[in-house]
Structure 1
Amino acid sequence: MKRTNFILNGFLALAIVLVFAQCSDNNNAATSSTAPAVGVAGSSNMKIAYVEIDSLLTKYNFWNDLNEVMIQKEENIRTTLNEKAKKLDADAKEFQRKLENNGFATRERAEQEQMRLMKQQQELQALQQKLSDELASENQKNSLQLRDSINSFLKIYNQNKGYDLIISNTGFDNLLYANPAYNITQEIIDGLNARYTPSSVKK
């Protein structure tokens, strides 16, 4: 469960990095079309801010609800597969017991039972693959929803703020040092949570 949660966080953090890059590109394009180019590196006219992705993922209620739903689904899948595997294992042991004690009326009957067990094993493997694919597909869908949610908010948010560049930061991956005055993480979190409706997450 923790492993899946970690993987989802990593995948969605990457998606959010792309979101902020896209938003910044759009904003810069709009700026260049309406005003002289002032976005020169080192220019005091350039307005920059950054967002800590780890904090955003931890405190954004939409993501927390999505994550909880996915954890529950993973647990349900695991329980279903374990129950079927346990039943199959019990049947296989019973087959072996009967085989060792000449419990089958004919050899053909023993072969039929063996084929039945092999078919059940194949069906269990197919079910495991199917449920795993469905879970991965839903994870991808969730990451797109998260990206769209943040992207649409940033477009509205930046209409008033007028940032030339909003940088995403995960640990020390992208930003080694920045003045905390440029940190707008909490503003983004508050804005996202304010417009989030919990009922929009399907369980």
Structure 2
Amino acid sequence: MNKLSFWAAVIAIVISISTFLYVNSSSKQVYVDVNKLIDGYKRTKVVRADFEKKAKTLNANVDSLMGDWQNELKIYEKERSKMSTKELELKQELLGNKQQQINNYQQAVQKQIQEEDKKATQTVVNDINDFVKEYGENNGYELIFGASGSGNIMYASKGADLTDDILKGLNKEFDGK
């Protein structure tokens, strides 16, 4: 009986130690506020400024073309009473074609602006994802959730929020480049 109680005690101790080690070795569940990271990341401001500059230039080109077309339309309206039927038809066709070309160009510009915005945003998101992955690996986290304010994390204690630490490291890395 003594041998049996001895082995039962050994097994109980091994189970207790294993449970203790498992509980202490398992990582905490942590998260970052993705929106706060994107807004607070210094590169986001740089990328947005570059994007806005490009968009402003592209829109200025469209505005210039539209202004020229409107001036031609005003001239046409002033002079149309002096034009023959054939001249009226030709001028109307020319103005209509020019307006269609401007509309097509404007649509192409809007598509380009959307693509540039998507590309700029993806650049920032890739930076953040790469940094968070490296941070998680270097600090022994198995899992880092990303909260975006849309309900995927309904509650987390303040201690589980790594956002400020990640943001500091991200900006420090960006400033070093």
Shorter-chain-normalised TM-score: which range? 0.7 to 0.9
CA distance, structure 2, for counterparts of residue 148 and residue 58 of structure 1: 14
CA distance, structure 2, for counterparts of residue 123 and residue 43 of structure 1: 68
CA distance, structure 2, for counterparts of residue 198 and residue 123 of structure 1: 47
2:121 is paired with a residue whose SS is helix
1:51 is paired with a residue whose SS is strand
Q: 1:97 matched to which residue of 2? A: 78
Is the 1:51–1:184 contact (alpha carbons within 8 Å) kept by the matching residues of 2? yes
Q: Which moves more between the two structures, 122-131 or 45-54?
A: 45-54
CA distance, structure 1, for counterparts of residue 124 and residue 170 of structure 2: 11
Letter in 2 for 1:59: G
2:144 is paired with a residue whose SS is strand
Q: 2:92 matched to which residue of 1? A: 114
Percent of aligned positions that are identical: 23
Is the 1:62–1:198 contact (alpha carbons within 8 Å) kept by the matching residues of 2? no
Q: TM-score, normalised by structure 1?
A: 0.67
CA distance, structure 1, for counterparts of residue 149 and residue 59 of structure 2: 32
Which of 73, 96, 99 aligns to 2:54? It is 73
CA distance, structure 2, for counterparts of residue 197 and residue 121 of structure 1: 47
| 2:159 is aligned with 1:174 | no
Q: 1:28-177 maps to which residues of 2 (within 5 A)?
A: 45-99=26-80, 102-104=81-83, 106-171=84-149, 173-177=151-155
CA distance, structure 2, for counterparts of residue 43 and residue 124 of structure 1: 66
Q: CA deviation at 1:118?
A: 1.1
Divergent runs of 4+, >6 A: none
Which of 155, 164, 167 aligns to 1:186? It is 164
Is the 1:84–1:124 contact (alpha carbons within 8 Å) kept by the matching residues of 2? yes
Letter in 2 for 1:73: K
CA distance, structure 2, for counterparts of residue 143 and residue 171 of structure 1: 18
Q: TM-score, normalised by structure 2?
A: 0.76
Q: CA deviation at 1:64?
A: 1.5
Q: Could you list the runs of 5+ residues in structure 2 that have no partner in the other structure? A: 1-18
Letter in 1 for 2:59: R
Deviations 1:127-148 (A, max 9, x none): 1011111112212222332232
Letter in 1 for 2:82: G
Q: Could you list the runs of 5+ residues in structure 1 that have no partner in the other structure? A: 1-37
CA distance, structure 1, for counterparts of residue 43 and residue 126 of structure 2: 12
Structure showing greater Rg:
2
